[in-house]
């Protein structure tokens, strides 16, 4: 979808173009109207002068011989022409060279202004025609002027004004784009803060925003606070529930050993099986709560800092084995949920600590994917066993305590991020190697 900034720029640019084109056409019309108005005024003055020169001769007849006009009406095809019609007689200006112009029939007192497309030399003319009555005669006078030079001047003005209009339009669009960018900057700031929230750098949107989106930002902050609080409450409740169930579970264990069950071995076996299952679930949730700590939800994951602390914690838990946990990870923030990352790596490391003899290697690298590799020097597994160990509840060796859920949980989280979990034998340590690859996009 097109961005809001591009949509605003495009819409306002179209509006500005329409406005500037409209005002340019209006200005072009005004320029031509003013020019023709001035020409019409001049033609009316010449028509008045021409009418004043028509006088009665000695016989009492109208005599056009008395017409005296300026020299421009005497030069051949000068662009200034007149036609006088007295009765049925036409009297042409010398500049017409005996090429008559069409005169509309006019009654005395009538005036008409019109354009002639084809003058004596096929040039456009602006013509003023007037009807008079003098000494009982109807007289028609037509005065014309060539529009070619005026059209040339108007075209020059039109082009110059068009260039000025385009310059102003480009400046207006540039200023508008800059203003839109400045106006939308608060939205860009909100976007950056949301990205910081996603990566765990902050927990709330703190920027000053316009009134139009202030309610939206307040609602987002409220929802963020609500989500964090509910996740913390859920994790705390799970931990509290697990702790609360442990005493009752211990009583069930002791009850299963009561002599009264000696006569009911199958019932005792069922009771012990179910209590073992509950115990494993409680231990798993307590371990996850211990690994995750009291951090807020959706924080970004720093591989180096988190794995260093996790390695120290597991070395303390498995202190009797004196394990050496080697961590190789970049000291950067990774755009993944901290709880999920600790859930995956914590389960893999816990599994490695159970089976390792002395050494565990943890390597995290970035390329096209986030690659997490956990290897140990334990017995490891090959072939079909490597495919079976990720099945929920399945354990290949019962000699070491466990519940068969760790690797299944790891695979579930990896698949949620559209990644994969691969099980193989470590080429360096010879034991178990679990490799997770998660896409970075």
Q: What is the pLDDT along the chain (441 residues), one digit of tens a residue?
A: 667 777 888 888 888 888 888 888 888 888 888 888 888 888 888 888 888 777 766 665 666 665 667 777 778 888 888 888 877 777 788 888 887 777 777 788 888 888 887 778 778 888 888 888 877 778 888 888 888 877 777 788 888 888 888 888 888 888 888 888 888 788 888 888 887 777 667 778 877 778 778 888 888 888 888 777 777 767 667 766 766 676 777 777 777 777 777 777 777 787 777 777 777 777 666 666 555 544 444 456 788 988 998 888 888 888 888 889 999 999 888 777 777 888 888 888 988 898 899 999 999 998 888 899 999 998 877 644 445 555 444 443 444 444 344 677 788 788 878 888 888 888 988 888 999 999 886
pLDDT at 272: 77
Q: So what's the pLDDT on residue 359?
A: 92
Structure tokens at 369: 């994917």
Determine the pLDDT at residue 210. 80
**C-alpha neighbours within 13 Å on the C-beta side of residue 211:** 0
User: Measured between alpha carbons, how far is 102 from 273 in angstroms, rounded to an integer?
Assistant: 120
Domains of the chain, by residue range, sit at 4-152, 300-441
pLDDT at 389: 53
* pLDDT of amino acid 375: 92
338 and 299 in contact (C-beta within 8 Å)? yes
- What's the pLDDT score for residue 139? 81
The DSSP output letter for 71 is G
Which 3 state secondary structure label does DSSP give 97?
A: coil
Q: Which residues contact 236 (CB under 8 A, 6 or more apart)?
A: none
Q: What is the 3-state secondary structure (H, E, C) of 201-242?
A: CCCCCCCCCCHHHHHHHHHHHHHHHHHHHHHHHHHHHHHHHH
pLDDT at residue 328 in the model: 92
Burial of 304 (0-12, 13-18, 19+ CB in 10 A): middle
Distance separating alpha carbons of residues 405 and 261, to the nearest angstrom: 30
CA 191, 193, 194 angle in degrees (round to 5)?
65
* Alpha carbon 98 to chain centroid, angstroms: 72
Global pTM reads 0.43
Order across the sheet with 89-92: list the strands: 89-92, 80-86, 137-146, 125-134, 111-116
Q: Which DSSP category does 60 fall into?
A: S
Which of 73-78's residues contact partners 24+ apart within 8 Å by CB, and which partners? 77/120, 77/121
Specify the residue for token string 């609360």. Answer: 244
First CA to last CA distance, the chain: 19
For the domain with range 300-441, which CATH number is right: 3.20.20.150, 3.30.565.10, 3.30.70.1150, 3.30.300.30?
A: 3.30.565.10
- CA angle in degrees (0–180, nearest 5) for 336-339-342: 90
DSSP at 296: P
Residue 412: the pLDDT is: 78
Residue 216: name the closest of 227, 226, 205 by CA.
205
Which residue, 343, 354, 346, 438, is CA-closest to 399? 354
The predicted structure's pLDDT at residue 395: 42
Closest CA to 131 of 120, 144, 142: 142
Residue 300 pLDDT: 66
């Amino acid at each position: 979808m097109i961005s809001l900034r591009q949509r605003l720029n495009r819409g306002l640019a179209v509006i500005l173009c329409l406005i500037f084109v409209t005002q340019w056409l209006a200005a072009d019309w005004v320029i031509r109207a003013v020019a023709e108005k001035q020409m019409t005024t001049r033609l009316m003055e010449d028509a008045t002068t021409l009418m004043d020169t028509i006088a009665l001769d000695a016989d009492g007849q109208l005599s056009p011989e008395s017409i005296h006009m300026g020299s421009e009406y005497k030069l051949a095809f000068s662009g200034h022409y007149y036609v006088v019609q007295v009765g049925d007689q036409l009297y042409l200006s010398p500049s017409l060279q005996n090429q008559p112009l069409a005169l509309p029939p006019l009654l005395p007192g009538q005036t008409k202004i019109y354009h002639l497309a084809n003058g004596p030399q096929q040039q456009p003319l602006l013509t003023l025609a007037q009807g008079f009555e003098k000494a009982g005669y109807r007289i028609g006078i037509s005065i014309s002027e060539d529009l070619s030079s005026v059209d040339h001047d108007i075209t020059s003005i039109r082009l110059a004004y068009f260039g000025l209009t385009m310059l102003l339009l480009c400046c207006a669009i540039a200023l508008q784009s800059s203003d839109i960018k400045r106006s939308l900057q608060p939205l860009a700031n909100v976007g950056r803060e949301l990205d910081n929230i996603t990566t765990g750098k902050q927990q709330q949107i703190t920027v000053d925003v316009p009134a139009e989106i202030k309610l939206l930002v307040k609602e987002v902050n409220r929802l963020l606070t609500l989500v964090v609080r509910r996740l913390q409450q859920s994790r705390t409740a799970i931990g509290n529930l697990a702790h609360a169930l442990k005493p009752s579970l211990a009583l069930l264990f002791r009850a299963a050993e009561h002599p009264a069950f000696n006569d009911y071995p199958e019932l005792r076996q069922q009771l012990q099986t179910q209590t073992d299952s509950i115990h494993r679930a409680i231990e798993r949730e307590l371990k996850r709560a211990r690994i995750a700590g009291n951090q807020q939800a959706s924080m970004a994951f720093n591989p180096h800092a988190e794995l260093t602390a996790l390695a120290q914690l597991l070395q303390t838990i498995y202190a009797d084995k004196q394990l050496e946990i080697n961590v190789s990870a970049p000291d950067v923030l990774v755009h993944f949920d901290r709880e999920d990352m600790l859930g995956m790596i914590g389960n893999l490391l816990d599994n490695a600590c159970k089976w390792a003899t002395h050494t565990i290697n943890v390597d995290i690298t970035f390329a096209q994917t986030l690659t997490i590799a956990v290897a140990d020097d334990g017995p490891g597994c090959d072939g079909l066993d490597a495919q079976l160990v990720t099945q929920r509840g399945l354990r290949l060796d019962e000699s070491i305590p466990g519940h068969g859920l760790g690797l299944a949980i790891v695979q579930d989280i990896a698949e949620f991020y559209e990644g994969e979990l691969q099980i193989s034998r470590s080429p360096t340590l010879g034991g178990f190697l679990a490799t997770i690859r998660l896409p970075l996009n």
